[in-house]
Structure 1
Amino acid sequence: MTPTPTTPRPTRVGRPSFAAAERLARGLRLLVLLLALSALSSPGAHALQGNDNCHDPSSIVKDGGKYWVFTTGTGIYGMYSTDLVTWQSGPRPVFEAGQYPSWINGRVPGFSGDFWAPECVYRNGKFYLYYSVSTFGSSVSTIGLATNVTLDPASPNYQWIDQGEVVSSTTGSACNAIDPAVVTDASGGLWMSYGSFFKGLGLIKLDATTGKRSGTSFYWLAGNLAADGVSRSNSGSEAPYIVRNGGYYYLFLNKGACCQGSSSTYYIQVGRSTSVTGPYLDRNGVDMNRNGGTTLIATQGNYVGPGHVGLFVEGGANYLSHHYYDSNQNGRARLSVGNLGWDGAAWPFITRDWLAAGRYTLTNQNSGQVWDAWGCSGVQGQAIAQGTAAGLNCQQWNLTPVGNGEYKITSAVGAGLAADVIGNNPNNGAKLNLYPYSGAANQRFKIERSAGGGYVLASVNGNRVVEVPACATTAGVQLALYDYLGNACQKWTIAPAPAARALATAAPTAALFSVYPNPLTGRRFVVALDAELAAAPVGIRLTDLRGRTVYARRSTGQASVAVEADLPAGLYVLHVEGAAGSQTQKVVVP
């Protein structure tokens, strides 16, 4: 039974530009209520499934077969996934109500239990969970640390042990102690970046064993320093996160306003340095301490105010996590798991597209069969089914990104018609065929990369995913939409297409013949010819997928031609050639 989710509250650090703390608190409580209601009433708009309520997510961390993210919320909210596509709430928070570490009250009087912006890393055989504690409109804050040998609440070894304070700030401190993130340098040294809207972002050294602060050194990362090196108030930078790649360290941060739902203006910037302590310069060479920063991603469509990045690397993929406010759901804070890439100049880019534009084959991970424009003529209304891979051009598909991880999928045969959910039907069982592309939601598919390298394709209209119905393994089964269950029938291996061989000798605009029954129910099937084709001599030939002829005959003046052949089970291609043209059709022998 899935537990009732604890909705993480978008209650980040207060800012001087916000109204009084009490008014802010009331407004945020109202916002949380509206977001909860919108989660029940608004349709999905992206492929991530389950409960993806999320604000200020930690980077993804893996324990056994589960992936975890910790976020802002009462007692520290946690959510997990087994495939990086569907997410659900953990059964309980890190700290139960009334069991928060007692030392916190001495550092942050008035703390009510809402922890902010945690970060979790695995090292030394256990998980280190850093968390932020603050109150609205204040820089009286602290960062604490808790450890656990497992993230599985069902394990007998599961126990969060609080390790106490890492760093704190007061009204007179230079850097506000929230938003921790941890990075290991090239020599194995451990560091923590932190800081917020107040004054700027800093870096301190950590003890590699305890995870606590080591020494008193402090380095400014970003904070709009004046020429004399004095930090100004309200730098506008927060949520730092450092990634080491090659010979550089990359500092990701946020600017703009968070925590205001669809009115948020958060955006993500980056700079880089050859030293973990900086200085970090943007692509134009401007120091991030002096208002530098190259913008990577900002509001796009319904993805409003993206922020608080984290990076998880597995299987050659860079899973870039962040939150955003969904304008399609009244500004609800949600999790996004996108793709971090590197350009030729070793600068990062963030995209929700997992695949570049190109021609691909899509292979079902259960049946081993591929997306197939069934019939290979590419005419309007032709079914999209699974077929035995034969290197045919009707088994190849052009994937074209149209924004925010959504794709137009067009057939490589015929007039380049697009994959379409028949009748714009968002319900279970809605089937796929070919239709002229109009950009409608039922012709756009969000593609997410799941754990293990497979892909999930969800219709933007309703968010149900493409599946081989009933997990069938036979050719000719038309693809359809169903609720996501995470099984192999709903996951696809997508690979660049090899050089295709054409199946049809022409690209007809209308079918010249039909075949029934297909799949065969015995040794006999009938080829029904249209009047124009039947009026002249016609050649009928059946080949296997290696191109070898297994049956051939000629006919003149017959509207229906019976074919009897003792064929082993498999997929065959029927070629019909006459004065009116030539066409092909697949024939399935079960």
Structure 2
Amino acid sequence: MMLRTLIRVLLPLCLSFQAMALELTGLDNSHDPAALVKDGSTYYHFTTGDGIWYSTSQDLVQWTPGPQTVFPLNSWPSWIDSAVPDFDGEFWAPDVIYMNGYYYLYYSVSTFGSSRSAIGVVRTPSLNNPNWQDQGMVISSNGGIDEINAIDPALFRNDDGRVYMSYGSWHGGIGIIEINPSTGKTIGSVTHLYGGGHQSIEAPYITKNGNYYYLFVNRGVCCDGLNSTYYIEVGRSTSVTGPYSGWRTILPNHDGKYHGPGHIGLLQEGSCSYVSTHYYDATDGGAAKLDILSLTYSSDWPVLSRDFTPGNCPSVAGPPTDGTYIIEARHSGKALAVANNSSDNGANVEQGSYAGSAGQRWRLSDLGNGYYSLINDRSAKSLDVWEVSMDAGANIAQWDYWGGEGQQWQLERVGAGYFLIRSRLSGHVLDVSARSQSEGANILQWSETDRSNQEWYFRKP
């Protein structure tokens, strides 16, 4: 977020806006917001502010300020005093990701116009009942004019489960580094993605659709209300680390009341893709507010629209075709398996690293009624809700196939090639118990939680 004269503003190439924008209520402020995140049935919107301010919603329209900030006002972790001596308590540009049983919130500490900055991380096991514990510094910059400025973190989980953080502002441009999901800290070294030479580039965000990774960045100057020259570009690559090309404007500097859009984030919820940004409201004296748009794709490029209804999302390609699959849990990468390769009725179903065993493969068959059977490749027995239970927490086992509702499964796409596997009997979904990463962790049915231990990838052997 640094001052610089904008040379030009590109015409929008990938924009689809109509009059039917969401009219959000209850929000007092939004600037450089995190991607929206959900805990249970509650949406969370974290944003720049003293202590890290947030608000909540049940429907993405009516919002309520949180009862307290992430950090108590006028206090911050002690490590910040030496990393950024002039820090005044205003945390910038947070972003949140759920990993291994915790919500990790990444934040920036800096002063305007400086590249002496740092990114830290704080975590909690629940957003609904938070117990925030700071984990310290993730990465820093020391004020060099050519350094990648350590602000504007944005988290991305790849199809293989690896997590990356992009970040940066002006100075040395945009960087990316891998994140350890067990600690929230970095792995390896930074890769330069884009920009540098003190160009007006900041606020990166990466997502993936099909074969392409998409890098969104802000151009222009922020933080000056209706005079801000911010606009948002997007480029694409076949590799998460670039190079990114084909750059085009996706959000212009102004469109009706929406001026200076900044800091794209994405919440993927089933087939719904919700993009959040801030904007300066030309009908309200340039107040910084939250904007929520829908994201779709056309000709392998993203398209944004304000004309949508939450929950009313476009249809997507159907589930895998009939065949034999390795079914892998998104959070662990481990395969759905019958314990000990057993052929017995009642043998337990668990997760395990794929070792080529037939007991780790499943034959998917369309039953013609919107549901599927899943038959183990070794035992020829069906994936089965134990004792025909309707309860959340009921065990999953194998049993001779007889076609009951406890052996019928619905596949629901959740994005990035993953599916929920939902029981026709109970309406619950397959779940790796306690979000465990361990070999032999139990599989049960549970209420949908929007967490990756309930998301499954169907891979051909």
What TM-score bracket applies, with the shorter chain setting the length? Answer: 0.5 to 0.7
Which of 94, 118, 124 in structure 2 is aligned with 1:142? Answer: 118
Matched, 1:338 2:293: yes
Amino acid at match of 1:106: S
Verify the 8 A CA contact 1:146 1:162 in the aligned structure 2. yes
Whole-angstrom distance in 2 between the partners of 1:197 and 1:75: 25
TM-score, normalization: structure 1? 0.48
Which of 243, 268, 271 in structure 1 is aligned with 2:207? Answer: 243
Matched, 1:169 2:157: no
Number of the residue aligned with 1:351: 305
Q: Secondary structure at the match of 2:107?
A: strand
Superposed displacement of residue 17, structure 1: 6.4
Number of the residue aligned with 2:75: 99
Q: Secondary structure at the match of 2:54?
A: strand
Whole-angstrom distance in 2 between the partners of 1:14 and 1:251: 20
RMSD: 1.7
Amino acid at match of 1:220: H
Verify the 8 A CA contact 2:50 2:74 in the aligned structure 1. no
Superposed displacement of residue 78, structure 1: 0.7
Amino acid at match of 2:97: V
Matches within 5 A, 1:142-541: 142-152=118-128, 155=129, 158-172=130-144, 174-215=147-188, 217-223=189-195, 231-232=196-197, 234-282=198-246, 293-298=247-252, 299-343=254-298, 345-354=299-308
Unaligned 5+ segments in structure 2 are 7-20, 310-461
Number of the residue aligned with 2:371: none
Superposed displacement of residue 163, structure 1: 0.4
Whole-angstrom distance in 1 between the partners of 2:22 and 2:308: 14
Number of the residue aligned with 1:65: 41
Whole-angstrom distance in 2 between the partners of 1:218 and 1:191: 10
Q: For this pair of structures, how many residues does the alignment match?
A: 293
Q: Secondary structure at the match of 1:310?
A: strand
Superposed displacement of residue 273, structure 1: 0.7
Going from structure 1 to structure 2, the CA distance change for 1:126 and 1:307 (only over 3 Å counts) comes to same
Whole-angstrom distance in 2 between the partners of 1:199 and 1:17: 18
Amino acid at match of 2:138: V
Whole-angstrom distance in 2 between the partners of 1:208 and 1:46: 34
Whole-angstrom distance in 2 between the partners of 1:98 and 1:174: 29
TM-score, normalization: structure 2? 0.62
Superposed displacement of residue 206, structure 1: 1.3
Highest relative contact order (Cα 8 Å, sep 6+), 1 or 2? 2
Whole-angstrom distance in 2 between the partners of 1:134 and 1:323: 20
Number of the residue aligned with 2:55: 79
Verify the 8 A CA contact 1:16 1:137 in the aligned structure 2. no
Verify the 8 A CA contact 2:115 2:147 in the aligned structure 1. no
Whole-angstrom distance in 2 between the partners of 1:263 and 1:16: 12
Verify the 8 A CA contact 2:22 2:306 in the aligned structure 1. no
Whole-angstrom distance in 1 between the partners of 2:137 and 2:38: 25
Amino acid at match of 2:283: N
Cα deviation per residue 1:179-214 (whole Å; 9 max; x = unaligned)?
A: 000112232211110001223111111112111011
Unaligned 5+ segments in structure 1 are 1-12, 19-44, 224-230, 283-292, 356-590
Superposed displacement of residue 137, structure 1: 1.6
- Which runs of at least 4 in structure 1 moved beyond 4 Å after TM superposition? none
Largest Rg, 1 or 2:
1
Q: Secondary structure at the match of 1:218?
A: strand
Q: Secondary structure at the match of 2:260?
A: strand
Verify the 8 A CA contact 2:92 2:151 in the aligned structure 1. yes
Matches within 5 A, 1:536-551: none
Verify the 8 A CA contact 1:52 1:335 in the aligned structure 2. no
Verify the 8 A CA contact 1:52 1:88 in the aligned structure 2. no
Going from structure 1 to structure 2, the CA distance change for 1:16 and 1:138 (only over 3 Å counts) comes to farther
